[in-house]
Amino acid sequence: MALTKAGNIVLKYPHRKNLIINGNFDIWQRGTSFVGAAAGAFSADRWRRGSANDSVVTLSAGTHNAILGSRLTKYALGVSVTTADTSISAAQYESQIYNIEGYDVQQIMGQTVTLSFWVYSSLPGTYCVAFRSIAPTYRSYIAEYTINQANTSEYKTITFTMDNGSVGTWDYENGTGLSIFFMLACGTNLQSTANSWQTANVIATSNQVNFLSATSRAFFLYQVQLELGPVATPFENRPIGEELALCQRYCQVFGAYDGGFGCNFNGYAQDANIINFVVQFTQQMRSYPAFSFSAANHFVAQFRGSVAAPTAITMTERGVTSGYFQATGLSGLTAGEGVIFRFGNTLARLTFDAEL
């Protein structure tokens, strides 16, 4: 067992050893159930559906509440099939994808690393995990693992040597440094052999099962960890506040944890119909975020004892620490007066997305 020394204290396991953020699926800022999830849709923070096929799936926070390995796990990333795709064509695939930022990939290039995770599936057989760089010159590594028994949680580890970056296209800054694909189905165009780095866009072997071939199937991931070294150590237990802060570099949702109330933003009236206000982000974001909101009439402007709902909200300027906004379609305001812009009901949400 490797020990890490910090000053006069010997640490059994180093802090922040796990390069996977939200590997235990405790953070779900966008919601906990996504029926008919679109290709590319996020579910748990940092995790998105990679998909090109004819199936329909639901992504959800599966409640587990059981001890796996060294800790209790409450939630899992769940995939269930509601419309099957019994024949996967050459270019089709299904996966759950985790993208590691380039700054975090720097430390593992050319090094021995170990991926560990718990997995549950109603369909036993051979599954693949793929590691891939970015376009235009892909570098890919495919590993197989076997689910031995249906409807049973099983622990898996995969140890390999990371590419040294001498070939292919790699991002070592704030873009996608490495994509990890947990495969559920894969067509022949994206298949190759296992256990070696290849200059190709390939993400599974020909042994990969077609999990999509029947409805009512269920697949769950828990405790996903990627760390330096040839041995899988116990899953890293980071405080929930720290894990949320790490997630908020990539996504921040105002209203997700307080039922939609409690967030007030100070602003001023530009004229009788328009207000300007500022949202200060909780964490500095990875890049300028995209902005979306639930509905304009879920929010209200409060001024001189009156409230009015806007008809539109736009982001007029954006940075990595804050955003500037206009709410329009109001009435009764006086230019220059102070206004509080706040949530008007429990459905109100402001979402800022800087995901990879």
Q: What would the pLDDT profile of 32-44 be if each residue is shown by its tens digit?
A: 999 999 999 999 9
Domain co-membership, 192 together with 59: yes
Domains: count for the chain: 2
- Angle ∠(83,128,35) on CA atoms, nearest 5: 25
Residue 205's contacts (CB-CB under 8 Å, 6 or more residues apart) are 126, 128, 142, 144, 191, 192, 193, 194
Which of 247, 262, 288 delimits the end of a domain? 247
Give yes or no: residues 207 and 271 share one domain.
no
Residues 195, 287: one domain?
Answer: no
Q: Are residues 184 and 295 in the same domain?
A: no
Same domain, 289 and 216: no
Summarised one tens digit per residue, pLDDT across range 42-97 is: 999 999 999 999 999 999 999 888 899 989 999 999 999 999 999 999 999 999 99
Q: Are residues 126 and 205 in the same domain?
A: yes
Domain boundary among 247, 277, 303: 247
Are residues 186 and 220 located together in one domain of the fold?
yes
Cα gap 126→123, rounded to integer Å: 10
Which band of pLDDT confidence, cut at 50, 70 and 90, is reported for residue 262?
low
Same domain for 216 and 308, yes or no, is no
Residues 212, 272 share a domain = no
Give the distance from CA 62 to its chain's centroid: 16
Domain co-membership, 227 together with 262: no
pLDDT of 64 reads 84
pLDDT tens-digit map of 108-153: 999 999 999 999 999 999 999 999 999 999 999 999 999 999 999 9
Helix and strand numbers (H, E) in the chain are 2, 23
Residue where a domain terminates, one of 197, 215, 247:
247
Strands 338-343 and 218-228, by their bridges, are unpaired
Reported as a single tens digit per residue, the pLDDT across 266-308 is 999 999 999 999 999 999 999 999 999 999 999 999 999 889 9
Range of the domain at 293: 252-353
Residue type, 28: W
In this structure, are residues 102 and 173 in contact, taking their beta carbons and an 8 Å threshold? yes
User: Which of 330, 203, 196, 221 has the alpha carbon at shortest distance from 271?
Assistant: 330
Q: Return the CATH number at 298.
A: 2.60.40
CATH label of the domain that carries residue 183: 2.60.120.260
Is 206 in the same domain as 256? no
